[in-house]
């Protein structure tokens, strides 16, 4: 469903659903200020078990909030979606 030619409502709805959890919003918001980060570091910073962080990252990745790439034996995550960056930047203004 589209409101107009420029806005895909389904895509935004999926992004907002993924960001609706406080831990996932925290992950995405903090990744916006970093080039990238791995699961171990996020788990340490959040004080959340690594398997839990991995589950949140999978949800964010499926919603196209995050991208990932392998660096050696680690998977590094980053926010590259310009729409998501604009949403997160609007939070930083408050």
Q: Model confidence over 10-41: pLDDT tens digits?
A: 888 999 999 999 999 999 999 998 889 999 99
Mean of pLDDT values over 64-80: 94
What is residue 56's three-state secondary structure?
helix
Quote the pLDDT of residue 92: 79
Quote the pLDDT of residue 94: 62
CA atoms within 13 A on the CB side of 66: 32
Lowest mean pLDDT among 3-7, 38-42, 62-66, 89-93: 3-7
Mean pLDDT, rounded, of the chain:
91
| Sign of the dihedral defined by the CA atoms of residues 5, 10, 11, 12, in that order | positive
Which contiguous run of DSSP H or E holds residue 49? Answer: none
Quote the pLDDT of residue 14: 93
CA terminus-to-terminus distance, the chain? 30
Is 18 within 8 Å of 77 (Cβ atoms)? no
Quote the pLDDT of residue 22: 96
Quote the pLDDT of residue 4: 62
CA atoms within 13 A on the CB side of 50: 7
Nearest to 24 by CA among 93, 88, 82: 88
Mean of pLDDT values over 51-55: 97
């Amino acid at each position: 469903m589209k409101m107009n030619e420029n806005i895909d409502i389904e895509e935004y709805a999926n992004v907002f659903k993924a960001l609706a959890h406080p831990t996932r919003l925290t992950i995405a918001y903090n990744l916006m200020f970093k080039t990238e980060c791995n699961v171990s570091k996020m788990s340490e910073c959040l004080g959340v078990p690594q398997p839990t962080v991995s589950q949140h990252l999978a949800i964010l990745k499926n919603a196209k909030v995050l991208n990932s790439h392998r660096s050696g034996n680690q998977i590094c995550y980053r926010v590259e979606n310009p729409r998501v960056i604009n949403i997160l930047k609007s939070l930083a203004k408050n």
